[in-house]
Structure 1
Amino acid sequence: MGPPSPTGRLTMSAQRFPQNGVRELKPFDVTSVRVLLLENINQTAVQMLETAGYQVEHHAKALSETELIEKIKDAHVIGIRSKTKLTKNILQHANKLLVIGCFCIGTNQVDLDFAAQRGIPVFNSPFSNSRSVAEMVISNIIALARQLGDRNREMHRNLWFKVSSKCFEIRGKTLGIVGYGHIGSQLSVLAEAMGMHVIFYDVLQPMPLGMSKPVGSLEDLLRQADFVTLHVPETPETKNMIGAHELQLMQPGSYLINASRGTVVDIPALAQSLRAGHLGGCAIDVYPKEPFSNGKGFESELVDCPNTILSPHIGGSTEEAQSMIGVEVARSLTSFLNAGSTLKAVNFPEVNLRAIPATKALSVRLVNAHQNVPGVLLKINNILSPFNVDKQVCDSKGDVSYFMADIALRGEADIQTIHRAIGQIDENIITRVLY
């Protein structure tokens, strides 16, 4: 299913920022929506956004803070990956910005709370690279079991060591998956197809796939698994969830794989366990601190540890995954801009309405973000009371509420009346009228 039709025209927006007072933006149609894409976002996204009628400026790399502040002043939409940091300092210069797209899994590079306070939803793609990550983990399992990393490094140094000691088939071994979400469950299916026994631990109670079995605690999983792979989000609860104590619980000669978040594993403790010979090896794709750009600059205690595979955060870096991410985030952006939908927003109430029928020529869609305090809906509904409201919905998240309504009008002049009145509500953050 493609993005909403770009034939409708986005009308005026009224924004109230505490430091700026009310900022009125002139009416504009979709062809004047300016999209700034950074960090070589996949061409599928570029094409979708251009097809929607927007003006797209595409950069292959991230911008410096000074360049970004200058560029973001005129952008209605910005799309980034993981290197660009959208801090409060940068976002407070973005007085035209309507929406942010993170073409990746994480959103910790964006000040989500400040964006929400300004009525700017943030969308990401948490699941589009699931298959790519799962496949790489399978390759890591096999490579670790056969010590391929060490043999490869030796061969590049003109050394020939044909050994079978401590090299194993993965068939019949136990894979322990920590976090049985989209990636963990896909990995479960692939591992079973290769003859592995799968156990998993998750704070929720997901339905097991195939013959996989849940265990009661992380400790139970660590004690049973030959291979432990981590697929959890970055939260205060998951920080250093695998430390010296947890590593000691793992079976002697077992393996650890982390392709989730760099803060999940205590890296110095892991390096010590590897060098002491307790673990048989590890594969790490994410790190607590990662270089800002390609080239020199990577440092880690894991360098030169035995049977250790280090990769530069490429678990989801496949052509297929980047294309799917481009499609998913671009669709969310166009759905928000053209139809007001905030489904899948990470920092905003998730609200949606079915499309306005094409036969309703004088119907418009009002979308409004306002401070989540008592009495605002009463003010909005008092303004709308002279009109026929076909449907409306409102939801809140934290300090922000988001309201959508489809309204049948008597004439074009009613658009100005409604927009001006709601835009002047003291608690208004941003008001848009779509038709």
Structure 2
Amino acid sequence: MTNQKINFNNGYITGISFISALGGYLFGFDFAVISGALPFLRDEFALTSLWEGFLTGSLGLGCIVGCLSAGKIADLYGRRPGLMVAALIFAFSSLGMAFSHSLTLFVSMRFAAGIGVGMASLLSPMYIAEISPASIRGRNVAINQLTVVTGILVTNLVNYFLADIGNEAWRWMFGLGAVPSALFFIGVIWLPESPRWLVKAGREAKAKRVLEKIGSQGFADSTFADIERSLSGNKKQSFRAVFDKAVRPAILVGVVLAAFQQLCGINVVFNYTSTIFESVGADLNRQLLETVAIGIVNLVFTVLAMWQVDKLGRRPLMLAGSLGLSLIYIVLAFLLQSHAAPGLLSVFVLLAIAMYATSLAPVTWVLISEIFPNHIRGLASSVAILSLWASYFILVFTFPLLAERLGTYGPFYLYAIICFEGFLFVKKKVKETKGRTLEELEENLIRH
């Protein structure tokens, strides 16, 4: 990068980042809607612990398929077409779940929703990272996490107010997802394609035009040169290229961090809020009210993380979050085991959410979008995020079974151990990436 002053079109960058991040909103919707709907679905479909876990986790299985397909689509056809397909899948699956009259159909539609979530979870942060200048990339990628938590909060609020309309409330909870899905599809139509993908596809003139909209001529010229240099001689697009010796360290970090973000256990709190608070005597109204409180805290502390991720850096936030969660889980397990008052339990549940929202939740997505080389970013990201959703399925599928055998408190001791192991991994393997261009990070990876 030259020493001349670089100016950015911040309004344009933020606008297209928010449009892309609407995929995160729908991710948050499909992720959160199950928490408010589960009390109704248990009665509607007479769910056993096994089926409750599988129904909840079927979203994760769909996400695996979505990640596998999205990575290939992103590298062959571009980031934008993949986002459009994800939007259509979101709309179809939302209506499919709402009109389901059998457990089989409902699970199939939730699996389909997972395909959309998996595609969006890969493509939205990848797209934002590729159109954002290095100095604000962390904040912009965290916009995706902001829309995820906004989707969670809005969905929890809607669930709370819909709960009083009767046994069919769950159908409205799921069906309303078609509205933001349509808005997302319309928004994606107006997005430019990623300039890094355009260069890789041989469409240099169009890439330059996009870069010139993002920043000054100096920024466009230097960034274009960096992209061309990083892609020279790199034409492989097969999964074999993902496991080349040169990129294995990045793959290891990406896969472990993605799995850790789920196996840390926080999504048990999000998805099984009603189960956790029911175990200490809270009624349905209190259970749903707790989901709203969780959504508010999640949103507030995600905004805090957006402000800090490009200041404090990725590594310090990950270290603080993993160790903090480990300690909080030990207290949570003790409170559940001793049947503490719901109010006291709520304090530590919200502390866990706050800790996660400022660390593992946004920073993992930022790192995954940054650490892989340009020529295989789509495929490499899909491998990491595939491991994330496989871990999500394992987590939410096993929780009802573990809680039935060990008590609701038992799994939280396990999650505390996992979080401490994650702290040790981050301390040893994760390097700081703030303030460096994607091409600089790639060069550093090759040297090491």
Computing the radius of gyration from Cα coordinates, the structure with the larger value is 1
Higher RCO (Cα < 8 Å, 6 or more apart): 2
Higher strand residue share: 1
Q: Same fold (TM over 0.5)?
A: no
Shorter-normalised TM range: under 0.3
Higher helix residue share: 2
- Give the TM-score normalised by the residue count of structure 2: 0.23
